[in-house]
Amino acid sequence: MWSAVFVERWPFWAGGIAIGVFVLAFLLGTRQLLGVSTGFADACAAPFAPEVRRSWRLPFLIGIVAGGLLASLLAGASAPTVDMGMFDLRVTDDLAVKALTFTAGGVLLGFGSRLANGCTSGHGIVGTALLAKSSLIAMAVFMVTGVIVTQLLLGGMP
């Protein structure tokens, strides 16, 4: 039982159903939209805005990190690493270049999520569950861009 719950990967559809049910239950129960980029904006504003420090989003962000750490510990894979698998093979394994690349990507992601009024998870999970036109368009752009970048990194477009 332990292995089935905490170690073995669950099928993608089981995770999708669980996330979808939680998002809809959260919306119905709190009338709040679940998303990470707004929580990150709250975390950045917290030192300067006392009212933001009481936001439910800050414990939510801490829970995401703590949940990932707990899952890693329970699965027996708790050793930190800077190995990025295929990224190291296809792009670079130089730690400084990876740090700069991911920092620049993080800044662009943060800017884009604020510009798009939501991040990929917000649009992809919450927005599409609510059938928001903007989220359906955003997800189409995310998917097409992801396919193009994957093809470029893995050996070219057909």
- Look at residue 156 in the predicted model and tell me its pLDDT: 66
Q: Report yes or no: 46 and 58 within 8 Å, Cβ to Cβ.
A: yes
108-155 pLDDT per residue, tens: 988 888 888 888 888 888 888 888 898 899 889 989 998 998 888 777
- Look at residue 137 in the predicted model and tell me its pLDDT: 92
10-49 pLDDT per residue, tens: 788 888 888 888 888 998 999 988 888 888 888 888 889 8
Burial class (CB in 10 A: 0-12, 13-18, 19+), 65: exposed
In this predicted structure, the answer to whether residue 75 has a pLDDT above a threshold of 70 is yes
In this predicted structure, the answer to whether residue 54 has a pLDDT above a threshold of 90 is no
d(CA 45, CA 54): 12
- Read off the amino acid at residue 126: V
- Look at residue 157 in the predicted model and tell me its pLDDT: 56
* Confidence tier at 95 by pLDDT (50, 70, 90): very high
> Residue 111: how many CA atoms within 13 Å on its side-chain side?
6
- Look at residue 103 in the predicted model and tell me its pLDDT: 94
- Look at residue 66 in the predicted model and tell me its pLDDT: 93
How is the chain split into domains, by residue range? 1-80
What is the 8-class DSSP label of residue 52?
A: G
Please tell me the pTM assigned to this model: 0.69
In this predicted structure, the answer to whether residue 104 has a pLDDT above a threshold of 90 is yes
